[in-house]
Amino acid sequence: MRRKKSNASALMAKLLMVVIVAVAIYVGVSDTFERDEPVIVIHNTEYWNLKEPISIQINDQSGMTSYTVVLKTQKENFDLAQEMLMTPNKELKLNIKPPKRLFGLKEHDVTLYVEANDASQWNFFKGNSATVTKKMIIDKKRPQVNVIANSRSITQGGSALVIFKASDDNLQSLYLQSSNGKKFYPQTYMEAGYYASLVAWPVKEKNFRMHIIAKDMAGNLTKKYVPFYLNNKTYRTSKINITDRFLDGKIAELAEEFVETQGVEDRIKRFKIINEDVRAKNEALIHKITSKVPEDIVERLTITPFYPLKNGKKVASFGDHRYYYYNNKRVSESYHLGLDLASVQMGKIKTRNSGKVVFAGDNGLYGNMPIIHLGMGLYTLYGHCSSVDVNAEEEVSAGMKIANTGMSGYAMGDHLHFGVLVQGVEVRPEEWMDKQWIRLNIENIFKSAQKVINRS
């Protein structure tokens, strides 16, 4: 009898052990007893303008049963959201708008408090809870922007100068934007809070408007219109008939150099690739190089009118819209974004202003091409050179010989392709070769701005 009782007790003990192990395994793997706290993510930055809702995401394996969102100040608390969930939810996305009385808050430094509880039976059936706090700054004020001086007018394809004042305790971004979406970045002018920028009206754009855009860390945005008198300009349109001699000569010669035309036998297709695809690639490099603007403080941009080639005669104008025809059929088009000058063969090219060489090398259709930065995102470009006397990163002085004219790249005769760019936009070289234009649109604007700043 004792042996039977002993065997029964042992069996019961084993069964109990099995049950305990099974329960332990169940508790360990079941979502019902999961031990992970809810994951709370506050997507907003530490700044809040009270216009955009606070975005919060809460995730949990067993699902949330409740959450609370409170904004705490030194004097009082604001209940932003609170909910008891009848059905546990594994993912919550909250977009919480501020209560109306929060708009009258005088304090700026606050703390956001988020608490969430899940449906787990862990922790003696109490479940898991998580709390996240985030320090925030309430900023309802938009940046202040005022134009203090700017060029009176701007011409299609031309340049202008804008000087303005911008202030905000939490300023995040500041730039000027034209109606076609191009951004121009200013430099600090003379002292903190004042800014200056050259801007440009792209030759291909018929309409033009310019705004200063200031945005702070809280997302408050100010958009200030810059008043310009707009001078629309009609540029020349050219019809160019291409010949078999041209296709079998210069184009065939260029086609051997470019990866894009390798294996292309069709002459018109080769010409189209060179005139459009290769040109776009070369211009993209130019735009990348000339889009950079220094971050140092600028006090003035002193420019002597450009005369890069002594006794240079204009042989092609800036802004020409060229249409190419073969056997009376239009096959391609392009814009001429510089001024072509010619004098003598291998003529000396000199700079009239000091600056820094930012590129000196071959650039496809532009041939041997130095580019010089003169300050404030103003660049000069010299294409088709037969030889280049300067190197990248070299400082050049006024009157220094930098290259010789030539026929490198896409050039049919010895000449200089002279280009001027403002923050990556090709502009009319004629303006920067005109002493009166420089005085009225650059020098006088700096003088006017300086007087305003001195009075303040």
Position 4 scores a pLDDT of 56
Stated as kind and residue range, the H or E segment containing 271 is helix 267-272
Position 121 scores a pLDDT of 72
CATH number of 237-435: 2.70.70.10
Position 23 scores a pLDDT of 44
What span, in angstroms and rounded, lies between the C-alpha atoms of 62 and 121? 9
What span, in angstroms and rounded, lies between the C-alpha atoms of 161 and 334? 28
**Secondary structure (H, E, C), 143-182:** CEEEEEEECCEEECCCEEEEEEEEECCCEEEEEEEECCCC
Position 25 scores a pLDDT of 46
Structure tokens at 318: 């800036």
Coil vs helix vs strand at 311: coil
What span, in angstroms and rounded, lies between the C-alpha atoms of 232 and 201? 10
What span, in angstroms and rounded, lies between the C-alpha atoms of 412 and 421? 24
Residue 424 CB neighbour total at 10 angstroms: 21
CB burial string 265-283: b at 16+ within 10 A, e below? eebbebbbbbbeebbeebb
Give yes or no for a contact between 406 and 388, defined as CB atoms under 8 angstroms apart. no
Position 21 scores a pLDDT of 45
CA angle 359, 365, 369 (to 5 degrees): 25
Beta bridge partners of 420: 380, 427
Burial of 318 (0-12, 13-18, 19+ CB in 10 A): buried
Give yes or no for a contact between 160 and 151, defined as CB atoms under 8 angstroms apart. yes
The structure tokens 């479940």 sit at: 127
pLDDT digits (tens, 9 = 90+) for 348-389: 999 999 999 999 999 999 999 999 999 999 999 999 999 999
Beta bridge partners of 375: 378
Beta bridge partners of 145: 166
Burial of 207 (0-12, 13-18, 19+ CB in 10 A): exposed
What span, in angstroms and rounded, lies between the C-alpha atoms of 77 and 74? 8
Domain residue limits, the chain: 31-138, 144-232, 237-435
Position 409 scores a pLDDT of 95
Coil vs helix vs strand at 208: coil
What span, in angstroms and rounded, lies between the C-alpha atoms of 147 and 126? 62
The architecture of the domain spanning 31-138 is Sandwich (2.60)
pLDDT digits (tens, 9 = 90+) for 151-173: 999 999 999 999 999 999 999 99
* 342 conformational bin, left if phi > 0, alpha if psi -120 to 50, beta if neither: beta
What span, in angstroms and rounded, lies between the C-alpha atoms of 179 and 22? 70
Structure tokens at 2: 């004792």
CATH class as words, domain 144-232: mainly beta
Give yes or no for a contact between 201 and 156, defined as CB atoms under 8 angstroms apart. yes
Same topology for domains 31-138 and 144-232, yes or no?
yes
Give yes or no for a contact between 337 and 414, defined as CB atoms under 8 angstroms apart. no
Residues in the chain where the model's pLDDT stays below 70? 1-33, 123-125
Position 9 scores a pLDDT of 64
